A and B are shown apart, each in its own frame.
Chain A
Amino acid sequence: MNAKDRLKIPPVKMPEQDPAERIKNVDEVPIGYTSEMAMLEASRCLQCKTPFCIEGCPVGIDIPAFIKFIEVGDFKGAIRKMKEKNLLPSICGRVCPQEEQCQLFCTIGKARKNPGESVMIGKLERFIADWEREQGEPEKPPAVKPSGKRVAIIGAGPAGLTVAGDLIRFGHEVIVFEALHKAGGVLVYGIPEFRLPKKIVQNEVDYLENLGVKFQYNYVIGKTIPVREVVSEFDAVFIGTGAGLPRFMRVDGENLLGVLSANEYLTRANLMKAYDFPRADTPIVKGRKVITVGGGNVAMDCARTALRMGAERSLIVYRRAEEQMPARLEEIHHAKEEGVEFHLLQNPVRLVGDERGWISGAELIKMELGEPDSSGRRRPVPIEGSEFIEDTDALIVAIGNSPNPLVPASFPELEVTRWGGIVVNEITGQTSVQGVFAGGDIVLGAATVILAMGHGRRAARAMNLYLSSGRWVDLDRAMDLCMAEVR
């Protein structure tokens, strides 16, 4: 096939559950490619000499190479290629904002003048990971000689899991301490089942356990054991405690019954399985008309969860315009298909309650777009006198999360920024304390899964170098050298 023929193939759509059906269950929305679909989609890739797609991937996956393997039907080869750079393809393939990353730069998308018609890199990534899972036991890496070094990882989110997977391969003993009773971080308590089935996350965790990683659940580091003790008892420590501190709007009425943070709502719905109440014990607020405030992935997840919990109407209230929503396009699209109503350029100024203390309405003010702000987006400005009351019986605050303060607060030696993020060396993830590394949302603030993994990867390299050389000063230079050798 020549390039021209390849260019002519339209993107292969991934089959999805019908919107009217899927809001009655919590099963995954996209069903997945068949082998034939995947091979056809793979044949759209031009195998560019300069693959711009790779530039768009935060962990630099060799995209044309893994796609070539799929095209020729060598799925084992494809997954091997993938895992050189990305240990959690089944997760990234599902939740990466591909349209802003790899797929944005794809030559096909550019040639078709529509980035939405780029090679479906994320979907192929998902396919190949799902294929591997269906084969049963994944391939184990060759055994290595134990190094005798012990590493503690605090937090079992994507950052921590990535570090664990890499360091165990280098022969170190790895213990992951997790505050909750399950591993996965946001992947299990935040992102809903219908977007990322929990058995997929569990599968990745089982795999790490199989490789020898030990998980210590129900351990809140800084409480169950002091951070200092962990730091002194292990040869190196990685902090990946995420951005789990919910922000509230600070408007009147925020403590009314029926007003909850996205974290609470999603934790009840996902980790605690409230959709299965009373077979699972944890209840959840079930509004008939639910308002979610916010415009990111978190807000989309809440609004779509509300439909699945039986809401008749689910509204997104967002203070900017749709183009400025930080959520992935696919999530916005899915939310709309399912009937979520978008109320844009509006913002709550006050919540009102009934005589029992339950929320009965939100006073919203209309907004217009003004001059661009520091984020480069046009700043929303309230239109005076435009307030009105929108009735509601449940409101979810999904306006963002800040870094989890627990570990830094109980370990003052750790340098943090004004907004609570841990300060690290960008190349190595080294913190202000020798032997302690950090990465993911606790460094970046609420970011993405793939960035957390990228941090984890680099930190793991640096930690390995530190463990074998004992070198702390100029570790970044040493790491640059050894990365160059790898290349």
Chain B
Amino acid sequence: MYQILHKEKLGPDIYMYRFRAPDVARNRKPGQFVIVRIAENGERIPITITDVDTDEGSITLIVQAVGKTTLQMAQMKEGDFIPTITGPLGEPTRIEKVGRVLCVGGGIGIAPLFPVAEGMKDIGNHVTSILGARSSNLLILIERMREVSHELIVTTDDGTEGEKGLVTDVIRELVGKGKVYDLCIAMGPPIMMKFVCVLTKELNIPTIVSLNPIMVDGTGMCGCCRVTVGDEIKFACVDGPEFDGHKVDFDELMARLAIYKAEEKEALEYYYSKAGCRLDSTLEGGSR
């Protein structure tokens, strides 16, 4: 059993949790995730490890409530236990000194981006971060991202914080000003990663993305998480989750994320009827 040591609300439907999981904390590297199961009969869902504290033996997860499981998780309290945290899973990010790195995070994607940006800066890269969200209250970890970036730019779709617009607008602007980047790392909703990749391909900036397909075991056993990268089929949980963004078939990824739309809705309604709580937002989860 894994205990919630600390829980904090970061924004509407967005929560930060610190769980006790010493072996996971000790062996985790940036870019890796865990599979979480919060109850008997619960689903196994993947969540990126945002941070670890090896002294405390804890890992930090930032989770956006979008459906049944993540909402039920949001109802849990400090001191509660969950039955499963498995990990660290996936291949770690290749943290290398490449020069100037552009870190692009969208919404909840800023959570997995943080440890990668931190690692990239620690090893001596120049880090420029561009963080975007629909609205200011959905922006997370801005201060911590500032600490691990040489330069940080915030945008919101509605202009409630930072520049009004999309992260791709900012990339275009920076490059237009003559800035040069050796690597781009983009994490966020698939649609955002897709358009970042379209742009960086045009601009000739190699780009790494972190993919979030539906998973079950997370150990390469089921093939549910398969994604097309170039002309190869990869299992995101063991071969990824990070891939060369210019080769990823994002349309397929987005279609596959919607496989269980109807069932997810059913599960959420069923939970609403029993638990008497609802999501802060009425947003659909699948498009993230």
Binding site for B on A (CB under 8 A): 179-181, 189, 217-220, 223-226, 244-246, 248, 254-255, 257-258, 260-261, 263-264, 267-268, 272-273, 276-283, 285, 356-357, 404-406
Known interface pairs A255-B256, A264-B224, A277-B267; 10 further A-B residue pairs with C-beta atoms within 8 A, sorted by A's residue number: A181-B86, A218-B85, A218-B86, A225-B27, A244-B219, A248-B233, A260-B223, A273-B41, A278-B270, A281-B267
Residue among B24, B260, B267 making CB contact with A224, cutoff 8 Å: B24
B217 near A179: Cβ-Cβ < 8 Å: yes
With a 10 A CB-CB cut-off, give which of A181, A225, A279 has the most chain B CB atoms: A181
B117 proximal to A (CB < 8 A): no
A225 vs B24: C-alpha distance when bound (angstroms): 8
Q: Residues of B contacting A180 with CB < 8 Å?
A: 217
B266 proximal to A (CB < 8 A): yes
A276 vs B217: C-alpha distance when bound (angstroms): 19
Tell me the smallest distance from the CB of A273 to a CB of chain B, in Å. 6
B85 near A257: Cβ-Cβ < 8 Å: no
A264 vs B220: C-alpha distance when bound (angstroms): 10
Of the four ranges (under 10, 10 to 19, 20 to 34, 35 or more), the interface on chain B belongs to 35 or more
B260 near A283: Cβ-Cβ < 8 Å: yes
Residue among A220, A248, A257, A278 making CB contact with B86, cutoff 8 Å: A220
Which of chain B's residues has its CB closest to A273's CB?
Answer: B41
A sample of 11 cross-chain residue pairs with beta-carbon separation below 8 angstroms, ordered by A number, consists of A181-B83, A217-B84, A219-B86, A224-B24, A255-B256, A261-B223, A264-B216, A267-B221, A282-B43, A282-B44, A285-B259
Q: Residues of A contacting B263 with CB < 8 Å?
A: 277-278, 283
Q: Residues of B contacting A357 with CB < 8 Å?
A: 252, 255
The answer to whether residues A257 and B256 also contact, given A223-B89, A226-B27, A263-B223 and a CB cut-off of 8 A, is: yes
- Encode contact with A along B72-89: 1 for CB under 8 Å, 0 otherwise: 000000000001111111
B222 proximal to A (CB < 8 A): yes
A281 near B68: Cβ-Cβ < 8 Å: yes
A179 vs B256: C-alpha distance when bound (angstroms): 25
Q: Residues of A contacting B23 with CB < 8 Å?
A: 219, 224-225
B216 near A267: Cβ-Cβ < 8 Å: yes
B13 proximal to A (CB < 8 A): no
Binding site for A on B (CB under 8 A): 23-24, 27, 37, 41-44, 68-69, 83-89, 216-217, 219-224, 226, 228, 233, 238, 252, 255-256, 259-260, 263-264, 266-267, 270-271
Residue among A218, A273, A278 making CB contact with B267, cutoff 8 Å: A278
A113 vs B222: C-alpha distance when bound (angstroms): 43
B217 near A267: Cβ-Cβ < 8 Å: yes
Q: Residues of A contacting B68 with CB < 8 Å?
A: 278, 281
B84 near A248: Cβ-Cβ < 8 Å: no
A220 near B219: Cβ-Cβ < 8 Å: yes
A245 near B221: Cβ-Cβ < 8 Å: yes
Which of chain A's residues has its CB closest to B256's CB?
Answer: A257
Q: Residues of A contacting B255 with CB < 8 Å?
A: 257, 356-357
Tell me the smallest distance from the CB of A428 to a CB of chain B, in Å. 28
The answer to whether residues A255 and B238 also contact, given A225-B27, A283-B263 and a CB cut-off of 8 A, is: no
Tell me the smallest distance from the CB of A181 to a CB of chain B, in Å. 5
Q: Residues of A contacting B223 with CB < 8 Å?
A: 246, 248, 260-261, 263-264
With a 10 A CB-CB cut-off, give which of B37, B238, B263 has the most chain A CB atoms: B263
Which of chain B's residues has its CB closest to A264's CB?
Answer: B222
Tell me the smallest distance from the CB of B57 to a CB of chain A, in Å. 13
Q: Residues of B contacting A226 with CB < 8 Å?
A: 27
A307 vs B69: C-alpha distance when bound (angstroms): 28
B270 near A272: Cβ-Cβ < 8 Å: no
Residue among A224, A255, A278 making CB contact with B226, cutoff 8 Å: A255
A456 vs B88: C-alpha distance when bound (angstroms): 29
Tell me the smallest distance from the CB of A262 to a CB of chain B, in Å. 9
Residue among A225, A245, A254, A276 making CB contact with B41, cutoff 8 Å: A276
Q: Residues of B contacting A258 with CB < 8 Å?
A: 259
B43 near A281: Cβ-Cβ < 8 Å: yes
A253 vs B217: C-alpha distance when bound (angstroms): 23
